[in-house]
């Protein structure tokens, strides 16, 4: 099954798993196909903490956006690799605190674009655009970006759980450097991705991804930390996102599908060895 492409990107297919739909499945979403569910379930055999980490990342997004809007005074957001819409999206969290907050979502998955545009059709303070995340100049120059965001003022750029979808280290480093250069002082950059404690686990994850026919580049936490050089990292620093200002009272996520339920809580058996790692930093 395919659908028309958008923005020059290939049509989506139910025959190859995609990161957005796999992530959606881990969050308890319904916008995924059997191929995505099978890929997640196969990955859990090797990395049983994966469901926890995906869900921890989404819960982190809520706390991050709340901090940026409430404590840092940010009222405009650029969310790169936004994924499928779910509960407590960036604009919903930000606008609870700052009703006039503006959000530009960016993705290259046609199903994400279709769902996002349907959700945001009547919201003039929020939009979703099709773009390749590795080409930040096209994102920043996009007419809809300029229509909503004032790039002469501080903003927050979010790259949450997208680093592992960029295989090449230099490409990721260039992306982060270009964004850091483009935003004005007082802006914030947030980044998270799956990390491992040792090179052997990185290699094992690469093998699993290749066998399942999807891109997934696990990195070392030390590699992620170098992206933040020259920025003022917000406390508690760069950590597993579950430990970034935890709040047990925040809104919960939907329950996962039955095959994933045995993996809920599995991350506690792997302390300090794997995880969705990152944080947020301010450009001085």
Residue 114 inside a domain? The answer is yes
Residue 167 inside a domain? The answer is yes
pLDDT along the chain (284 residues), means of 10: 40 75 91 92 88 95 98 98 82 96 90 72 83 93 95 98 92 96 98 88 75 79 95 97 96 95 91 83 98
164: domain CATH number is: 3.40.50.150
pLDDT at res. 19:
82
Task: Say how many C-beta atoms besides its own lie within 10 A of residue 15's C-beta.
Answer: 11
Structure tokens, 105: 């979502």
The range of the structural domain enclosing residue 112 comes to 54-246+275-282
Question: What's the structural domain count of the chain?
Answer: 1
Residue 90 inside a domain? The answer is yes
189: left (phi over 0), alpha (psi -120 to 50) or beta: beta
| pTM of the model as a whole | 0.90
């Amino acid at each position: 099954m395919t659908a028309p492409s958008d923005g020059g990107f290939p049509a989506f297919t139910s025959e190859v798993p995609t990161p957005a739909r796999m992530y959606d499945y881990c969050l308890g979403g319904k916008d995924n196909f059997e191929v995505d569910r099978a890929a997640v379930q196969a990955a859990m055999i090797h990395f049983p903490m994966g469901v926890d980490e995906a869900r921890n990342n989404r819960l982190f997004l809520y706390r991050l956006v709340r901090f940026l809007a409430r404590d840092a005074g940010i009222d405009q957001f650029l969310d790169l690799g936004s994924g499928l819409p779910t509960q407590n999206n960036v604009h919903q969290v930000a606008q609870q605190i700052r009703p006039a907050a503006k959000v530009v979502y960016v993705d290259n998955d046609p199903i994400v674009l279709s769902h996002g545009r349907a959700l945001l059709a009547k919201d003039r303070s929020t939009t979703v655009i099709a773009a390749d995340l590795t080409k930040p100049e096209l994102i920043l120059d996009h007419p809809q970006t300029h229509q909503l965001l004032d790039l002469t003022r501080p903003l927050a750029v979010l790259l949450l759980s997208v680093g592992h979808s960029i295989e090449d280290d230099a490409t990721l480093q260039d992306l982060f450097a270009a964004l850091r250069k483009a935003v004005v002082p007082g802006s914030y950059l947030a980044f998270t991705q799956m990390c491992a404690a040792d090179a052997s686990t990185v290699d094992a994850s690469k093998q699993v991804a290749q066998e399942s026919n999807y891109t997934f580049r696990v990195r070392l936490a030390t590699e992620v930390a170098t992206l933040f050089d020259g920025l003022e990292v917000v406390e508690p620093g760069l950590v597993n996102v579950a430990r970034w200002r935890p709040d047990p009272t925040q809104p919960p996520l939907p329950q996962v599908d039955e095959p994933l339920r045995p993996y809920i809580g599995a991350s506690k058996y792997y302390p300090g060895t794997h995880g969705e790692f990152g944080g947020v930093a301010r450009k001085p």
